Amino acid sequence: MEVLSVIMERRSIRNFEDKQVSREAVDKLIEALLWAPSAGNLQSRKFYFVTEAAIRQKLAMAAYGQGFIARAPLVVVACADKETVSGRYGRRGVELYCVQDATLSAMCMMLEACELGLGSVWVGAFNEKDVSKALELPEDFRPVAILPVGYPLIVPDAPARVRAEEAVIFK
């Protein structure tokens, strides 16, 4: 298991080949989502796998015109499921835990995508109401990330990272 290698190889990919993501790859992405940790194991997250061009275009517009979203063959929208978590954890569950559940799952999926030779990118800049409308989300689902996925056309070099001393504090 070379997890650190995959973590270090993953890049934000915004340019994709004109090639559909195979069903086998999609199944592995889903498996990665399902095995992520979650608060109280409530798994208070839902994911929309979008291949329909018209919906991908609406998502791109909801993301302030980020056109690469519409050009990705697959767009995954990670949603926090507020209803599932509210009974056990109340306000903190709704405001934080279900968001953490969705984002942890999304990162697991992004790492699996890299392992499969796929690229992805985290998109957090979007209008939540417009995304909800585009996907016809239930009121209790909050979109927290848009993740375009596909085969990379270009893989950029690794960006600079801060030194450990700048990011980690030992007490």
Average pLDDT, the chain: 97
Tens-digit pLDDT profile for residues 138-147: 999 999 999 9
Distances (CA, A) of 3 to 7, 32, 90, 106, 111: 6, 13, 34, 16, 9
Tens-digit pLDDT profile for residues 31-47: 999 999 999 999 999 99
Share of the chain above pLDDT 90, in %: 99
Whether residue 27 is predicted with pLDDT greater than 80 in this model: the reply is yes
The model's confidence at residue 1, banded by pLDDT at 50, 70 and 90, is low
CATH for 14-152, options being 3.40.109.10, 3.40.718.10, 3.10.330.10, 3.40.190.100: 3.40.109.10
Domain ranges, ordered by start, for the chain: 14-152
Query: Which tokens is 1 given?
Result: 């298991």
**pLDDT attached to residue 155:** 92
Tens-digit pLDDT profile for residues 57-76: 999 999 999 999 999 999 99
Looking at residues 113-122, what average pLDDT do you find?
Answer: 97
Whether residue 136 is predicted with pLDDT greater than 80 in this model: the reply is yes
Whether residue 90 is predicted with pLDDT greater than 90 in this model: the reply is yes
Distances (CA, A) of 8 to 31, 124, 147, 148, 159: 21, 21, 19, 19, 10
Identify which of 121, 147, 142 has the alpha carbon closest to the alpha carbon of residue 49.
Answer: 147
